[in-house]
Structure 1
Amino acid sequence: MAESRWSRIVVAGIITGAVMVAVSDRGGEDAPPARAQVVPSRIDIPSLGIKAPLMKLGVTDGEVELPPYEKPEVAGWVKDTAVPGDRGAAVILGHVDTKSDPAVFYELRKMRAGQAIEVVRSDGRVAQYRVDSIEQVDKDSFPADRVYLEDGLRLITCGGKFDWDRNEYDDNVIVYATLVEPADSRA
Protein backbone atom coordinates (compact mmCIF):
# COMPACT_ATOMS: atom_id res chain seq x y z
CA MET A 1 0.00 0.00 0.00
CA ALA A 2 1.35 3.39 -0.82
CA GLU A 3 1.53 5.49 2.29
CA SER A 4 1.29 9.14 1.26
CA ARG A 5 -1.82 9.33 -0.92
CA TRP A 6 -3.70 6.66 0.99
CA SER A 7 -2.83 8.30 4.28
CA ARG A 8 -4.13 11.71 3.22
CA ILE A 9 -7.49 10.21 2.32
CA VAL A 10 -7.75 8.20 5.50
CA VAL A 11 -6.63 10.99 7.82
CA ALA A 12 -9.41 13.27 6.57
CA GLY A 13 -11.91 10.56 7.43
CA ILE A 14 -10.39 9.88 10.85
CA ILE A 15 -10.47 13.52 11.82
CA THR A 16 -14.04 13.93 10.63
CA GLY A 17 -15.11 10.72 12.31
CA ALA A 18 -13.35 11.45 15.59
CA VAL A 19 -14.93 14.89 15.81
CA MET A 20 -18.40 13.56 15.00
CA VAL A 21 -18.14 10.69 17.49
CA ALA A 22 -16.82 12.99 20.21
CA VAL A 23 -19.63 15.48 19.68
CA SER A 24 -22.42 12.90 19.43
CA ASP A 25 -21.31 10.47 22.14
CA ARG A 26 -20.19 12.76 24.93
CA GLY A 27 -23.48 14.33 25.91
CA GLY A 28 -21.51 16.32 28.48
CA GLU A 29 -20.02 13.26 30.16
CA ASP A 30 -16.59 11.71 29.79
CA ALA A 31 -16.25 8.02 29.01
CA PRO A 32 -15.17 5.84 31.94
CA PRO A 33 -11.37 5.46 32.10
CA ALA A 34 -11.50 1.62 31.91
CA ARG A 35 -13.27 1.75 28.55
CA ALA A 36 -10.51 3.89 27.05
CA GLN A 37 -7.93 1.27 28.03
CA VAL A 38 -9.58 -1.60 26.14
CA VAL A 39 -8.02 -2.29 22.75
CA PRO A 40 -8.56 -4.93 20.08
CA SER A 41 -5.79 -7.54 20.12
CA ARG A 42 -6.63 -9.98 17.30
CA ILE A 43 -8.86 -10.28 14.26
CA ASP A 44 -10.21 -13.66 13.16
CA ILE A 45 -11.77 -14.19 9.74
CA PRO A 46 -12.60 -17.92 9.59
CA SER A 47 -13.65 -17.94 5.92
CA LEU A 48 -10.19 -16.68 4.91
CA GLY A 49 -8.19 -18.58 7.54
CA ILE A 50 -6.99 -15.32 9.11
CA LYS A 51 -6.00 -15.05 12.78
CA ALA A 52 -3.92 -11.90 12.90
CA PRO A 53 -2.57 -9.85 15.76
CA LEU A 54 -3.60 -6.20 15.85
CA MET A 55 -1.47 -3.22 16.67
CA LYS A 56 -2.57 0.33 17.44
CA LEU A 57 -2.23 2.83 14.60
CA GLY A 58 -2.36 6.55 15.08
CA VAL A 59 -1.78 9.70 13.14
CA THR A 60 1.78 11.00 13.02
CA ASP A 61 2.72 14.25 11.34
CA GLY A 62 -0.71 14.39 9.74
CA GLU A 63 -0.50 10.90 8.22
CA VAL A 64 -2.14 7.65 9.28
CA GLU A 65 0.35 5.11 10.48
CA LEU A 66 0.30 1.79 8.68
CA PRO A 67 1.39 -1.58 9.99
CA PRO A 68 5.10 -2.10 9.31
CA TYR A 69 5.91 -3.81 6.01
CA GLU A 70 8.35 -6.01 7.95
CA LYS A 71 5.34 -7.55 9.74
CA PRO A 72 3.01 -8.49 6.86
CA GLU A 73 0.96 -10.80 9.11
CA VAL A 74 -0.10 -7.92 11.40
CA ALA A 75 -3.13 -5.68 10.87
CA GLY A 76 -3.72 -2.40 12.64
CA TRP A 77 -6.64 -0.80 14.44
CA VAL A 78 -6.90 2.97 13.98
CA LYS A 79 -7.00 4.06 17.62
CA ASP A 80 -8.97 7.21 16.85
CA THR A 81 -11.93 5.02 15.83
CA ALA A 82 -14.25 2.95 18.02
CA VAL A 83 -12.99 -0.13 19.81
CA PRO A 84 -14.56 -3.10 17.97
CA GLY A 85 -17.61 -4.20 19.94
CA ASP A 86 -18.43 -0.66 21.03
CA ARG A 87 -20.77 1.75 19.26
CA GLY A 88 -19.29 3.68 16.34
CA ALA A 89 -17.09 3.01 13.36
CA ALA A 90 -14.13 0.71 14.07
CA VAL A 91 -11.45 0.71 11.37
CA ILE A 92 -8.79 -1.94 10.81
CA LEU A 93 -6.12 -1.61 8.12
CA GLY A 94 -3.89 -4.27 6.64
CA HIS A 95 -1.51 -4.60 3.74
CA VAL A 96 -2.53 -6.61 0.69
CA ASP A 97 1.07 -7.58 -0.06
CA THR A 98 4.73 -6.73 0.30
CA LYS A 99 7.33 -6.44 -2.44
CA SER A 100 7.64 -10.23 -2.50
CA ASP A 101 4.76 -11.90 -0.65
CA PRO A 102 1.05 -11.70 0.19
CA ALA A 103 0.20 -9.88 3.41
CA VAL A 104 -2.56 -10.24 6.04
CA PHE A 105 -5.43 -8.87 3.88
CA TYR A 106 -4.33 -10.43 0.59
CA GLU A 107 -7.57 -12.42 0.33
CA LEU A 108 -9.86 -9.67 1.67
CA ARG A 109 -11.43 -9.07 -1.75
CA LYS A 110 -12.83 -12.62 -1.57
CA MET A 111 -15.06 -11.88 1.44
CA ARG A 112 -18.80 -12.24 0.86
CA ALA A 113 -21.91 -10.90 2.55
CA GLY A 114 -22.95 -12.97 5.55
CA GLN A 115 -19.46 -14.16 6.48
CA ALA A 116 -18.25 -13.77 10.07
CA ILE A 117 -15.49 -11.63 11.52
CA GLU A 118 -14.46 -11.74 15.18
CA VAL A 119 -12.32 -9.23 17.02
CA VAL A 120 -10.74 -10.32 20.29
CA ARG A 121 -10.25 -7.48 22.78
CA SER A 122 -7.75 -6.92 25.56
CA ASP A 123 -10.56 -7.36 28.13
CA GLY A 124 -11.01 -10.96 26.92
CA ARG A 125 -14.30 -10.26 25.21
CA VAL A 126 -15.02 -10.98 21.56
CA ALA A 127 -16.99 -8.74 19.20
CA GLN A 128 -18.73 -10.66 16.42
CA TYR A 129 -19.55 -9.05 13.09
CA ARG A 130 -21.39 -10.13 9.95
CA VAL A 131 -20.19 -8.85 6.56
CA ASP A 132 -22.76 -6.63 4.85
CA SER A 133 -20.87 -5.68 1.72
CA ILE A 134 -17.50 -5.39 0.04
CA GLU A 135 -16.53 -2.67 -2.37
CA GLN A 136 -13.52 -1.71 -4.39
CA VAL A 137 -13.20 2.05 -4.85
CA ASP A 138 -10.75 4.34 -6.54
CA LYS A 139 -8.60 5.99 -3.88
CA ASP A 140 -9.67 9.39 -5.21
CA SER A 141 -13.30 8.45 -4.41
CA PHE A 142 -12.68 7.06 -0.92
CA PRO A 143 -16.05 7.05 0.96
CA ALA A 144 -14.78 8.68 4.17
CA ASP A 145 -18.26 9.42 5.56
CA ARG A 146 -19.43 5.83 5.14
CA VAL A 147 -16.19 4.43 6.55
CA TYR A 148 -15.74 6.75 9.52
CA LEU A 149 -19.22 7.96 10.47
CA GLU A 150 -21.48 4.90 10.18
CA ASP A 151 -21.54 2.24 12.90
CA GLY A 152 -19.77 -1.03 12.20
CA LEU A 153 -16.43 -2.59 11.45
CA ARG A 154 -14.45 -1.51 8.39
CA LEU A 155 -11.55 -3.56 7.04
CA ILE A 156 -9.43 -1.72 4.49
CA THR A 157 -6.59 -2.72 2.19
CA CYS A 158 -5.30 -1.79 -1.23
CA GLY A 159 -6.58 -3.35 -4.41
CA GLY A 160 -7.09 -3.00 -8.11
CA LYS A 161 -4.31 -2.38 -10.55
CA PHE A 162 -0.82 -1.54 -9.32
CA ASP A 163 0.48 1.72 -10.77
CA TRP A 164 4.23 1.21 -11.21
CA ASP A 165 4.82 4.91 -11.94
CA ARG A 166 3.29 5.99 -8.61
CA ASN A 167 4.35 2.80 -6.79
CA GLU A 168 0.87 2.23 -5.35
CA TYR A 169 -2.42 0.50 -6.00
CA ASP A 170 -5.18 2.52 -7.67
CA ASP A 171 -7.99 1.33 -5.40
CA ASN A 172 -8.99 0.38 -1.87
CA VAL A 173 -10.92 -2.75 -0.96
CA ILE A 174 -13.32 -2.04 1.91
CA VAL A 175 -15.32 -4.61 3.87
CA TYR A 176 -18.34 -3.27 5.77
CA ALA A 177 -19.61 -5.38 8.66
CA THR A 178 -22.35 -5.01 11.27
CA LEU A 179 -21.99 -5.92 14.92
CA VAL A 180 -24.14 -8.97 15.68
CA GLU A 181 -22.90 -9.72 19.17
CA PRO A 182 -21.50 -6.86 21.23
CA ALA A 183 -18.34 -7.56 23.19
CA ASP A 184 -20.11 -6.84 26.48
CA SER A 185 -22.60 -9.68 25.96
CA ARG A 186 -19.98 -12.45 26.16
CA ALA A 187 -18.07 -13.44 29.23
Structure 2
Amino acid sequence: MGESRWSRIIVAGVITGAVLVAFNRGGGQERAEVPPVVPSRIEIPSLGIEAPLMKLGVKGGEIELPPYEKPDHAGWVKDSVVPGDPGPAVILGHVDTKTDPAVFYRLKEMREGQAIKVVRSDGKVAQYRVDSIEQVSKHDFPADKVYLEDGLRLITCGGKFDWDENEYDDNVIVYATLVKPADPKA
Protein backbone atom coordinates (compact mmCIF):
# COMPACT_ATOMS: atom_id res chain seq x y z
CA MET A 1 0.00 0.00 0.00
CA GLY A 2 2.83 2.42 0.85
CA GLU A 3 4.62 1.59 -2.38
CA SER A 4 1.62 2.57 -4.50
CA ARG A 5 1.33 5.92 -2.71
CA TRP A 6 5.07 6.50 -3.13
CA SER A 7 4.72 5.68 -6.82
CA ARG A 8 1.87 8.18 -7.11
CA ILE A 9 4.01 10.85 -5.45
CA ILE A 10 6.82 10.22 -7.94
CA VAL A 11 4.38 10.25 -10.88
CA ALA A 12 2.84 13.50 -9.58
CA GLY A 13 6.33 15.00 -9.35
CA VAL A 14 7.16 14.00 -12.91
CA ILE A 15 3.89 15.47 -14.17
CA THR A 16 4.46 18.69 -12.20
CA GLY A 17 7.99 18.90 -13.63
CA ALA A 18 6.70 18.44 -17.18
CA VAL A 19 4.11 21.18 -16.65
CA LEU A 20 6.75 23.58 -15.30
CA VAL A 21 9.04 22.86 -18.24
CA ALA A 22 6.16 23.51 -20.64
CA PHE A 23 5.37 26.83 -18.94
CA ASN A 24 9.00 27.93 -19.05
CA ARG A 25 9.30 27.40 -22.83
CA GLY A 26 8.63 30.20 -25.23
CA GLY A 27 8.34 32.98 -22.65
CA GLY A 28 10.37 35.20 -24.94
CA GLN A 29 12.71 36.22 -22.15
CA GLU A 30 16.06 34.73 -21.43
CA ARG A 31 16.39 33.70 -17.80
CA ALA A 32 19.62 32.99 -16.02
CA GLU A 33 19.97 29.39 -14.91
CA VAL A 34 19.76 29.25 -11.14
CA PRO A 35 21.21 26.10 -9.63
CA PRO A 36 18.65 24.22 -7.55
CA VAL A 37 18.92 24.48 -3.78
CA VAL A 38 20.04 21.26 -2.11
CA PRO A 39 20.90 20.39 1.47
CA SER A 40 24.68 20.18 1.89
CA ARG A 41 25.28 19.26 5.55
CA ILE A 42 23.41 17.93 8.59
CA GLU A 43 24.37 18.95 12.11
CA ILE A 44 23.12 17.23 15.26
CA PRO A 45 24.83 19.04 18.13
CA SER A 46 23.66 16.64 20.87
CA LEU A 47 25.34 13.72 19.08
CA GLY A 48 28.39 15.62 17.79
CA ILE A 49 27.38 14.93 14.17
CA GLU A 50 28.42 17.23 11.33
CA ALA A 51 28.09 15.26 8.12
CA PRO A 52 28.06 16.12 4.43
CA LEU A 53 24.91 15.21 2.51
CA MET A 54 24.73 13.58 -0.89
CA LYS A 55 21.72 13.23 -3.18
CA LEU A 56 19.96 9.86 -3.22
CA GLY A 57 17.55 8.82 -5.94
CA VAL A 58 14.98 6.11 -6.43
CA LYS A 59 15.86 3.23 -8.75
CA GLY A 60 13.56 0.32 -9.48
CA GLY A 61 11.20 1.40 -6.72
CA GLU A 62 14.00 1.32 -4.12
CA ILE A 63 15.66 4.32 -2.52
CA GLU A 64 19.41 4.45 -3.06
CA LEU A 65 21.62 4.29 0.02
CA PRO A 66 24.79 6.24 0.67
CA PRO A 67 27.81 4.16 -0.39
CA TYR A 68 29.42 2.11 2.38
CA GLU A 69 32.75 3.58 1.27
CA LYS A 70 31.57 6.94 2.69
CA PRO A 71 30.37 5.99 6.19
CA ASP A 72 30.66 9.60 7.39
CA HIS A 73 28.12 10.82 4.78
CA ALA A 74 24.34 10.88 5.02
CA GLY A 75 22.02 11.15 2.04
CA TRP A 76 19.04 13.33 1.24
CA VAL A 77 16.29 11.63 -0.78
CA LYS A 78 16.06 14.09 -3.67
CA ASP A 79 12.42 13.18 -4.34
CA SER A 80 11.55 14.58 -0.90
CA VAL A 81 11.49 18.33 -0.19
CA VAL A 82 14.59 20.36 0.54
CA PRO A 83 14.86 20.69 4.33
CA GLY A 84 13.53 24.07 5.39
CA ASP A 85 10.75 24.00 2.80
CA PRO A 86 7.22 22.81 3.66
CA GLY A 87 6.63 19.08 3.25
CA PRO A 88 8.40 15.83 4.09
CA ALA A 89 12.22 15.85 3.94
CA VAL A 90 14.02 12.50 4.28
CA ILE A 91 17.67 11.89 5.16
CA LEU A 92 19.23 8.42 5.37
CA GLY A 93 22.49 7.27 6.91
CA HIS A 94 24.14 3.99 7.80
CA VAL A 95 24.39 2.83 11.39
CA ASP A 96 27.67 1.00 10.74
CA THR A 97 29.86 -0.76 8.21
CA LYS A 98 31.45 -4.20 8.45
CA THR A 99 34.24 -2.72 10.55
CA ASP A 100 33.23 0.64 12.04
CA PRO A 101 30.35 2.83 13.25
CA ALA A 102 28.84 5.08 10.58
CA VAL A 103 27.27 8.55 10.57
CA PHE A 104 23.96 7.59 12.29
CA TYR A 105 25.46 5.11 14.75
CA ARG A 106 24.16 7.13 17.73
CA LEU A 107 20.83 8.15 16.16
CA LYS A 108 18.84 5.95 18.59
CA GLU A 109 20.18 8.17 21.42
CA MET A 110 18.24 11.22 20.19
CA ARG A 111 15.62 12.60 22.56
CA GLU A 112 12.49 14.69 22.17
CA GLY A 113 13.24 18.41 21.98
CA GLN A 114 16.80 18.11 20.66
CA ALA A 115 17.88 20.21 17.68
CA ILE A 116 18.79 19.16 14.15
CA LYS A 117 20.18 21.68 11.66
CA VAL A 118 20.41 21.28 7.91
CA VAL A 119 22.70 23.63 6.00
CA ARG A 120 21.62 24.30 2.42
CA SER A 121 23.54 25.23 -0.73
CA ASP A 122 21.95 28.69 -0.66
CA GLY A 123 23.65 29.44 2.69
CA LYS A 124 20.44 29.11 4.67
CA VAL A 125 20.05 26.84 7.70
CA ALA A 126 16.82 25.01 8.57
CA GLN A 127 16.41 24.08 12.22
CA TYR A 128 14.20 21.24 13.43
CA ARG A 129 13.10 20.01 16.86
CA VAL A 130 12.85 16.27 17.51
CA ASP A 131 9.26 15.17 18.19
CA SER A 132 9.79 11.43 18.57
CA ILE A 133 12.02 8.48 17.85
CA GLU A 134 10.80 5.00 17.01
CA GLN A 135 12.29 1.66 16.14
CA VAL A 136 10.09 -0.33 13.76
CA SER A 137 10.40 -3.61 11.92
CA LYS A 138 11.37 -3.14 8.29
CA HIS A 139 8.29 -5.25 7.48
CA ASP A 140 6.07 -2.62 9.17
CA PHE A 141 7.79 0.49 7.80
CA PRO A 142 5.44 3.51 8.22
CA ALA A 143 5.79 4.82 4.63
CA ASP A 144 2.82 7.23 4.84
CA LYS A 145 4.12 8.82 8.05
CA VAL A 146 7.66 9.10 6.67
CA TYR A 147 7.03 10.18 3.07
CA LEU A 148 3.74 12.10 3.22
CA GLU A 149 3.65 14.04 6.52
CA ASP A 150 5.45 17.38 6.99
CA GLY A 151 8.77 17.45 8.78
CA LEU A 152 12.26 16.02 8.71
CA ARG A 153 12.79 12.26 8.91
CA LEU A 154 16.17 10.73 9.74
CA ILE A 155 16.39 7.00 9.07
CA THR A 156 18.98 4.33 9.82
CA CYS A 157 19.04 0.63 10.58
CA GLY A 158 18.60 -0.80 14.05
CA GLY A 159 17.56 -3.75 16.12
CA LYS A 160 19.00 -7.22 15.75
CA PHE A 161 21.33 -8.04 12.87
CA ASP A 162 20.07 -10.94 10.74
CA TRP A 163 23.21 -12.77 9.59
CA ASP A 164 21.24 -14.89 7.10
CA GLU A 165 19.82 -11.82 5.35
CA ASN A 166 22.93 -9.70 6.01
CA GLU A 167 20.86 -6.76 7.28
CA TYR A 168 19.26 -5.33 10.39
CA ASP A 169 15.67 -6.32 11.20
CA ASP A 170 14.50 -2.80 12.09
CA ASN A 171 14.75 0.88 11.20
CA VAL A 172 15.32 3.71 13.66
CA ILE A 173 13.33 6.77 12.59
CA VAL A 174 13.62 10.27 14.05
CA TYR A 175 10.64 12.58 13.42
CA ALA A 176 11.30 16.32 13.68
CA THR A 177 9.30 19.51 13.16
CA LEU A 178 10.60 22.65 11.47
CA VAL A 179 11.01 25.36 14.12
CA LYS A 180 13.14 27.83 12.20
CA PRO A 181 12.70 28.02 8.43
CA ALA A 182 15.78 28.29 6.27
CA ASP A 183 17.03 31.80 6.99
CA PRO A 184 20.32 33.36 5.91
CA LYS A 185 23.13 32.70 8.37
CA ALA A 186 23.55 35.56 10.77
Give the TM-score normalised by the residue count of structure 1: 0.84
CA contact (8 A) 1:81 1:148 kept: yes
Larger RCO: Structure 1 or Structure 2 (Cα < 8 Å, ≥ 6 residues apart)?
1
**Equivalent residues in 2 for 1:23-34, closer than 5 Å:** 30=20
CA contact (8 A) 1:14 1:80 kept: no
CA contact (8 A) 2:123 2:184 kept: no
Counterpart of 1:77 in structure 2 is 76
- CA radius of gyration, larger in: 2
Which has the larger helix fraction? 1
RMSD of the TM alignment (CA)? 2.7
CA contact (8 A) 2:123 2:185 kept: no
Counterpart of 2:49 in structure 1 is 50
Counterpart of 1:6 in structure 2 is none
Structure 1: segments with no counterpart, 5+ residues: 1-8
Q: Distance in 1 between matches of 2:118 and 2:92?
A: 13
Q: Distance in 1 between matches of 2:64 and 2:161?
A: 21
Counterpart of 1:134 in structure 2 is 133
> Given the alignment of the two structures, is residue 62 of structure 1 paired with residue 61 of structure 2, yes or no?
yes
Structure 2 letter corresponding to 1:169: Y
Structure 2: segments with no counterpart, 5+ residues: 25-31
Give the TM-score normalised by the residue count of structure 2: 0.84
Q: Distance in 1 between matches of 2:133 and 2:4?
A: 21
Q: Distance in 2 between matches of 1:77 and 1:21?
A: 17
Q: How many residues align?
A: 175
- SS in structure 2 of the partner of residue 104 of structure 1: coil
Q: Distance in 1 between matches of 2:57 and 2:47?
A: 27
Which string of whole-angstrom CA distances, capped at 9 and with x for unpartnered residues, describes residues 77-124 of structure 1?
000000000000000000000000000000000000000000000000
Q: Distance in 2 between matches of 1:68 and 1:99?
A: 13
Counterpart of 2:116 in structure 1 is 117
Q: Distance in 1 between matches of 2:8 and 2:95?
A: 26
> Given the alignment of the two structures, is residue 146 of structure 1 paired with residue 169 of structure 2, yes or no?
no
